[in-house]
Structure 1
């Protein structure tokens, strides 16, 4: 592999890993935030309000940063305004309606693994949208093995062998994974004609306003922030600003099939950090088996095809 290409791959790996580490840390941070602010699992509109504050703040941070960098923040065409509004309502509002409700009804460690199904949704969608990213037998097998991991993580419920799956918990996490996959691919197209930082800033800000409106309309209430919950809110906003903007930049310059599989690192960080901060068990056989299966699926999806022997031996 040429040195320049190797350096680029290392850079992509480092940035994608950073994004996944930040997203993985959001699982325990959100759960702790809910507990500190006394937002119950059934308090849907309180969750939406908390999410709205987070993403509106994240978008505002990015828009201010883009202004400092002298980027055109307000001079968007009518088509670009429609695009960022649609992106905000899907990638932020709709996705996090499902994500926050699901996370409130499922363990952080399990949610982080289920969220990795976004990789397989991305691979399947890319097959139909990009001629150079087709779903062959190897990728199909990888997707099947990955989804088997989703099934396995739900084994070992209270009865020891049952399939523990609820629509409001695990179901909503999987739906959120599909929404983020579809919206990310749409965002890749939007970023070709709009600066990724500006695009991400507006989609987070507008999506955050949408979540805030849902929370306020439903009578959501969040207690006054204390120092810990306030710092958590700021951290969640900053991680969203950094991770989403860097991820959009990576998708703009790289194939979906190369970037999407890095999402496997999210459950690795999510499970580890949930165990560290939430006291959840990370050594249960179901969790470990699911991680192994998802890892195997990712490896099959991303492994480059072997070159013919004659080509490998050619000078």
Structure 2
């Protein structure tokens, strides 16, 4: 139990601090290129681990469409939009907004995973939504904060895509090699975002 609790605490600190260097990095590099580099950096060790495990790492032909869809949800939708939105929002607020994802997952799971909403879940959803309105409410009436509001809504949209990725993963990749899926998801997403960055520079 001690090891589990320690691991949770460490992960919490690592994930929490992640938003700080991301915000710093956005001062020097465009958000989509930053995200592409982040995905490539994460994909490389996963590939090496897969090779060391002597596991098959090339997807079957039938899996490509699913992997591309997963990349669109998770890498472009979540990673790309959340990083883009952070240009207009401080790192602490961004980390709070993006974790509206569990609220969205609960609602989506009711319709797509047959995980019915109980009374307790519904109460929790309304409490979460009330907290969300408290956070973003002041920007609705503050025209000077329009850029901040845009950033907040972008990050909430990123949370929606993260939720979609979770639902899609549970429906589609049950029993699939997790490392293999994550590697290809990150590699495909990195390539997409890298291409998008190049096109943006050219055009």
CA distance, structure 1, for counterparts of residue 75 and residue 98 of structure 2 = 15
1:59 and 1:204 in contact (8 A); partners too:
yes
Give the 3 Å change call, closer, same or farther, for CA 21–186 of structure 1 in structure 2: farther
2:77 and 2:162 in contact (8 A); partners too:
no
What's 1:190 paired with?
172
What's 1:242 paired with?
none
CA shift for structure 1 position 91: 0.7
1:155 and 1:162 in contact (8 A); partners too:
no
What's 1:219 paired with?
201
Give the 3 Å change call, closer, same or farther, for CA 188–130 of structure 1 in structure 2: closer
SS in structure 1 of the partner of residue 179 of structure 2: helix
Q: How does 1:139-218 map to 2 (within 5 A)?
A: 139-155=121-137, 166=148, 168-218=150-200
What's 2:40 paired with?
56
Higher helix share: 2
SS in structure 2 of the partner of residue 70 of structure 1: coil
Q: Does 1:31 align with 2:15?
A: no
- With normalisation by structure 2, the TM-score equals 0.86
SS in structure 2 of the partner of residue 72 of structure 1: coil
Structure 1: gaps (5+ residues): 1-6, 40-45, 221-315
2:23 and 2:90 in contact (8 A); partners too:
no
CA distance, structure 2, for counterparts of residue 20 and residue 185 of structure 1 = 23
Is the radius of gyration larger for structure 1 or structure 2?
Answer: 1
Give the 3 Å change call, closer, same or farther, for CA 98–139 of structure 1 in structure 2: same
CA distance, structure 2, for counterparts of residue 187 and residue 145 of structure 1 = 27
Give the 3 Å change call, closer, same or farther, for CA 17–203 of structure 1 in structure 2: farther
| Total equivalences in the alignment | 198
CA shift for structure 1 position 172: 0.2
Q: CA RMSD in A?
A: 2.4
Give the 3 Å change call, closer, same or farther, for CA 82–15 of structure 1 in structure 2: farther
CA shift for structure 1 position 95: 2.1
- With normalisation by structure 1, the TM-score equals 0.57
What's 1:101 paired with?
84
CA distance, structure 1, for counterparts of residue 182 and residue 95 of structure 2 = 23
Instruction: Give the counterpart of 2:96 among 100, 113, 127.
Output: 113
Structure 2: gaps (5+ residues): none
